[in-house]
């Protein structure tokens, strides 16, 4: 499959990923819908178990879905070899991305004074899914489950998590939305949803909007996206709720009422091949804030970045 071949073909990592996401959206599929396939809910994981963050989450989910991979684990060729395993003959790698920081000396045009300026460049390195590797321990292939019954205490667990988020929440009407001026989330009464998990998945989406308030993350997208800011905000909320779904076991397939945004997202991505990277980074900020407020562990950003840099070195 050409999309997961590591050779760049002259395209930057951002352009390659954006083109694949555009192709999926054009086909009517939202690529941030997680391919659980009956397995445990998870972000994509490195060989050491550290979760991926940002755009890698959605990109590796999408590749797993397109390729039929069931394992959440990804690793480099050398990581597989170091575990006494071997990448299967003929398997193609997938790129994972990271930002490499560096400093560059710049000269002020007015004064000629020189100073160091911090910059970042997007880099990529090749990884393989554990399903592409022979001889790995069983831990890299979590058992799938056909159990459809929610475990006992699941609703109480979600009640506790979302109850810790200090949101002004009212339950009325038949629509779900966030009002920035009132700083308030409105949801239909819980009994109108098909299940408590769908109720909380919808709340997760609206809370993702709530994080952008000026008193919290102050997510002003107008300078970055101009007239497309509203579409970008909806994309961020979708990606954030998908990340929360991975951590809390919430579905996102029910968010079909956002299908009307696909045309706006397509224009956004066609106009700017880094828009999806920005949206994913801001979604990571939003979901991390909600996880912290709800008392859950947040994927380690420092360990994640260090792991990417070490793998790519």
**pLDDT per residue of the chain (313 residues) written in tens, 0 to 9:** 333 444 445 789 999 999 999 998 888 788 776 554 444 557 899 999 999 999 999 999 999 988 999 999 999 999 999 999 999 999 999 999 998 877 777 777 877 787 777 778 899 999 999 999 999 999 999 876 555 455 567 889 999 999 999 999 999 999 999 999 999 999 999 999 888 888 999 999 999 999 999 999 999 999 999 999 999 999 999 999 989 988 888 876 545 445 567 888 999 999 999 999 999 999 999 999 999 999 998 877 656 656 666 665 5
Torsion of CA 156, 162, 167, 171, to 10 degrees: -50
| Neighbour count for residue 222 (Cβ, 10 Å) | 11
Long-range contacts of 271-275 (CB under 8 A, 24+ apart): 271/228, 272/225, 273/12, 273/14, 273/15, 273/18, 273/19, 274/14, 274/18, 275/18, 275/225, 275/232
10 Å CB burial of residue 259 (0-12, 13-18, 19+) is exposed
d(CA 140, CA 4): 20
Q: Which residues pair with 46 in a beta bridge?
A: 74
pTM, entire model = 0.85
C-alpha 42/C-alpha 161 separation (Å) is 18
Measured CA to CA in angstroms, residue 127 lies from 8, 228, 232, 234, 280 at distances of: 14, 33, 29, 30, 20
Question: Which two structure tokens, joined as six digits, stand for 312?
Answer: 């790519």
């Amino acid at each position: 499959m050409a999309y997961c071949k590591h050779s760049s073909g002259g395209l930057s990592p951002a352009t390659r990923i954006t083109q694949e996401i555009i192709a999926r959206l054009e086909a009517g599929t939202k690529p941030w819908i997680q391919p659980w396939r009956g397995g445990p809910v998870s972000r994509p994981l490195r060989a050491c178990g550290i979760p991926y963050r940002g755009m890698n989450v959605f990109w590796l989910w999408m590749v797993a879905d397109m390729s039929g991979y069931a394992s959440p684990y990804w690793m480099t060729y050398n990581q597989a070899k170091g575990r006494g395993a071997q990448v299967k003959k003929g398997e193609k790698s997938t790129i994972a991305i990271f930002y490499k920081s560096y400093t560059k000396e710049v000269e002020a045009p007015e004064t000629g004074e020189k100073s160091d300026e911090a910059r970042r460049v997007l880099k990529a390195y090749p990884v393989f899914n554990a399903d592409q590797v022979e001889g790995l321990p069983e831990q890299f292939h979590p058992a799938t489950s056909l159990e459809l019954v929610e475990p006992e205490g699941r609703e109480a667990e979600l009640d506790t998590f979302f109850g810790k988020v200090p949101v002004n929440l009212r339950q009325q009407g038949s629509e779900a939305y966030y009002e920035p001026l009132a700083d308030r989330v409105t949801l239909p009464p819980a009994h109108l949803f098909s299940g408590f998990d769908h109720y909380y998945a919808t709340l997760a989406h609206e809370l993702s909007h709530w994080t952008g308030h000026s008193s919290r993350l102050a997510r002003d997208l107008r300078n970055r996206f101009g007239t497309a800011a509203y579409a970008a905000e909806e994309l961020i909320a979708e990606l954030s709720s998908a990340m929360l779904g991975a951590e809390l076991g919430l579905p996102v397939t029910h968010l079909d009422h956002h299908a009307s945004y696909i045309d706006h997202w397509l224009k956004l991505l066609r106009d700017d091949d880094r828009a999806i990277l920005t949206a994913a980074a801001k979604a990571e900020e939003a979901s991390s804030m909600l996880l912290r407020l709800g008392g859950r562990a947040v994927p380690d950003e420092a360990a994640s970045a260090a792991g990417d840099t070490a793998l790519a070195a």
